Amino acid sequence: MKIAKGRRLGQSLGLLLGFFGATGIGMTHLIFPGLHCYACPWAISICPIGLAQNLIIFGTVPYYWIGMMVVYGLAAGRGFCGWFCPFGTLNDLLSFRKVKIRDAVSYSKFLVLAATLIGAWLFADTIFCKLCPVASLEASIPYLFMGVAKVNRPFLIHMGTLAVTLVGMVLIARFWCRYLCPMGALLSLFNRVSFLKLRLDKTRCSGCAVCTTECPMGIEPHYQYDNHNCIKCGRCVDSCHLGALSMEVSVKGSE
């Protein structure tokens, strides 16, 4: 149970830092290691996907952005989805039905990422932000109450995407993180090289597949402990009575 507690702490920290602007601190130079709208009135860090689109529109070679992404990727890969991202936390709260993942379909998030970047380049506009359910939740709704936004077409589009995503999350655990999140796609590229790692001791594994029923991402940790979809939440580790799975942080190479 140790991992679950640590993870709750991490997610609380993510929420706290995500909305720390409520203290009046304003925008910092940091990029958020998850999907978190920078237009949110209380955000203190920049959304990596929103920033990437803007940099493409500007025609800037994104050295700083790449550097920050590698920092996050190397540190934990998709661990940020499981331990930090506020929208991931919302996905967690609504994950009632743990459905086995369709591995081939889960690549759709890469298409979302590619479409986001290419769309920004072709149309010179932040198309993804106009559909993003995180922006619906963290920008559209707060600004509606603050009187800056009104109920108009873009607002309704935002509410539509948010509703679809919420229904998806209720029907399929971590629906957004599995199939659609472009930030998840980006971090998953680093999943197998990151320092935070899931380990499997095959000699201890009996193949009971308890870990599979626990996994919110619907992967089979006792086969695919280094799956690119693994958010390193550690539920499988907590569920394994034989201690075959473990989480570790190591800088050393694995092979």
Residues 20-79 interacting with other proteins (rule: CB under 8 A): 21, 24-29, 31, 37-39, 41-47, 50-51, 54-68, 70-71, 73-74
Based on the shown chain and the rule CB under 8 A, indicate whether residue 202 belongs to the binding site for other proteins: no
Q: How many residues bind other proteins (CB under 8 A)?
A: 81
Residue 206 binds other proteins, judged by CB under 8 A: no
Site string for other proteins, 151-190 (x = CB under 8 A): -xxxx-xx------------------------------xx
In whole angstroms, how close is the CB of 9 to other proteins at the nearest point? Answer: 26
Strand, coil or helix: 59: coil
Residue type, 59: G
Question: What distance in Å separates the CA atoms of residue 54 and residue 47, rounded to the nearest whole number?
Answer: 11
* 93: region left, alpha or beta (phi > 0 left; psi from -120 to 50 alpha): alpha
Interacting residues with other proteins between 216 and 245 (CB under 8 A): 226, 228
Using CB under 8 A, pick the residue from 118, 163, 167, 170 that binds other proteins: 118
The residue type of 142 is P
* Backbone angle region of 9, left / alpha / beta, with phi > 0 → left and psi within -120 to 50 → alpha: alpha
Among left, alpha and beta (phi > 0; psi -120 to 50; other), residue 66 is alpha
Nearest to other proteins of 37, 173 (CB atom): 37
